[in-house]
Amino acid sequence: MVKILFVCHGNICRSPMAACLFSQMAKARGLDCVVSSAATSREEIGNPMYPPARRKLKEMGVPFGHHRAVQMTREDYGAYDFLLAMDSANVKNMKAIAGGDPEGKIRRLLDGTPHPRDIADPWYTGNFDATYADLAEGCQALLDRLEKMSYLKNPSE
């Protein structure tokens, strides 16, 4: 079973959206996984997912449950196989929290795509459509990578 932690600044927009979307996509592909999300900051700890993020997930038919923002911990580094940041600032902060990245587990979600880049924070941009599209691209690339790594069942079996 693969364990994945999605991380953004506040854990109220991008990372919980990514966790919900990836969970739905993984289930459809037969991936047995543990998926969660966290923040690098403490600003939003305990707060629910931002309402426009929930609205976008609902619009796209992606289920989401009860969410409260939490901060990434040093222990998360050992508990997860992949720690996926939404942007370069998150990567820097995650490495500081984890005390480094000796196993190379911390990377941006879109690093596994043909066009590696940051995912803009819709808290500031207001563009949840663009954020969702970036998250979908990153989650699909991650699923494809996991399939190559034999985490996914062969569709022909």
Active site amino acids: 8, 14, 121
The span from the CA of 10 to the CA of 70, in Å, is: 8
Q: b/e per residue, 93-123, with b = 16+ CB within 10 A?
A: bbbebbeeeeeebbbbbbebbeeeebbebbb
Identify the three-state secondary structure at position 152.
Answer: coil
Integer angstrom CA distances of residue 111 from 88, 107, 108, 125: 10, 7, 5, 21
List the structure tokens of 85. 């940041």
Residues in a beta bridge with 36 = 5
